[in-house]
Amino acid sequence: MYKTASGEEIFVIDGHTHMWDAAPDNHKNIHGKQFIDCFYAYHTNLSPAENRWPKDKFENYGPEAMYHDLFVDGYDDMAILQPTYLKDFYTRGFNTTEQNAVMKQRHPDRFILNGAFDPRDGEGGLEALSALAETFKIKGVKLYTAEWKGESKGWKLTDPWAQRYLEHCEKLGIVNIHVHKGPTIIPLNRDAFDVADIDDAATSFPNLNFIVEHCGLPRLDDFCWIATQESNVYGGLAVALPFIHTRPGYFAHVISELLFWIGPDKLLFGSDYGIWTPRWLIDKFMAFELPDEVKRETGVDLTLEAKRKILGLNAARLYGIDVAAQRKKLAASASRVAAE
């Protein structure tokens, strides 16, 4: 939990975290190395020097380090685990629901576990999604439209099979659809992360929430034009937030455009752990103020109330988290641990 200088406690839900395994012995081919090397480049280029990890830790940090970085050193109260399977690149998978479930099982009050689907799996995938929902009681999925599968190098939410999977999500009560629409990662194709298919999907499935991870970067304008029209489209700030350190002027542009077009009620904090850790991101975010010229031009401001919503309240609303009750539950859990 983050405390302001005045002592106010701000509830934090980290909307984008992973428990991945990119150790060299898990690489199925050269693409496994390319992928994690690209992640590591983002990590080293956008993190403060004191927050950069050695490569071996970055490849496979493990559950103890994750818990410490999010909840002991970090300000997170809860975190959403978002899977990315990549089984064409990694023998055991890169970041599966089952891997993430280890953290959920160890710390059930801390984590929200999401699943995933790939419409290229056809009928069998629909059955697997039902089983996933039954086993883990998931309320959300993370979709990776640029993931390779055999000869295919991506898919779209407008594909007929994708529509069937979204219909199935609605029937299963999986209402939060997180879709990676951000920068490319080697060797994936940039165009397969295009945001255009969000428009049709959001219109076709008004009862689902589409959380566009990385807010479409580098396609910010396209995303904003879609999200301002579609009431069920949200923006995830993972990848955008680290620019607050390296390119504060650019971050001011991104966040002011998002506030202008879609407002503070539809933006979600995400650290993208383990690419970045939440402590320094939140410290810099809470200290950040929009430049006066940006506020004059856009007519928006990044107020303390907006920061509260972005850091946790918006995600709590989407996932049905009663913040007051959850605070009590976490405090009771901490007291039990201290007594043991």
pLDDT at residue 118, as a whole number: 98
Q: Where are the domains of the chain?
A: 12-339
Token pair for residue 190? 């940039």
Tell me the residue type at 267: L
DSSP state of 188: S
Q: Which pTM does this prediction carry?
A: 0.96
Under 8 Å between Cβ of 290 and 256 = yes
What average pLDDT does this structure show over 331-339?
65
Q: Are 13 and 312 in contact (CB under 8 A)?
A: yes
Query: Quick one: which of 245, 263, 249, 248 has its CA closest to 303?
Result: 263
Structure tokens at 185: 């990662």
Report strand pairing: 209-213 vs 2-3: unpaired
12-339 carries CATH number 3.20.20.140: yes
Q: Return the amino acid letter for 114.
A: N
Structure confidence at residue 333 (pLDDT): 75
**Residues 224 and 258 sit within 8 Å (Cβ to Cβ):** yes
CA distance 149 to 146: 9
Tokens describing residue 245: 């350190």
Q: Encode pLDDT of 221-262 as tens digits.
A: 999 999 999 999 999 999 999 999 999 999 999 999 999 999
Predicted pLDDT at 331: 87
Distance CA 132, CA 85 (A): 14
Contacts of residue 150, Cβ cutoff 8 Å, sequence gap at least 6: 88
Q: Is the pLDDT of residue 215 over 90?
A: yes
What is the share, in percent, of the chain residues with pLDDT greater than 70? 98
Instruction: Give yes or no for residue 339 having a pLDDT over 60.
Output: no
Each residue's pLDDT tens digit, 84-96: 999 999 999 999 9
* 310 pLDDT more than 90: yes
Specify the DSSP class assigned to residue 52: P
What average pLDDT is seen over the chain?
96
Q: 177 pairs with which residues across the strands? A: 141, 210
User: Using one digit for the tens of pLDDT, what is the confidence trace for 162-210?
Assistant: 999 999 999 999 999 999 999 989 999 988 999 999 999 999 999 999 9
Taking the alpha carbons of 271, 177, 258, 159 in that order, is the dihedral positive or negative?
positive
The helix (run of H) or strand (run of E) holding residue 176 is strand 176-180
Distance between CA 35 and CA 146 in Å, rounded?
Answer: 12
Q: In whole angstroms, what is the distance from residue 207 CA to residue 130 CA?
A: 19
- Residue 159 has a CB neighbour count (10 Å cut-off) of 14
What is the CA angle 169-104-264, rounded to 5? 65
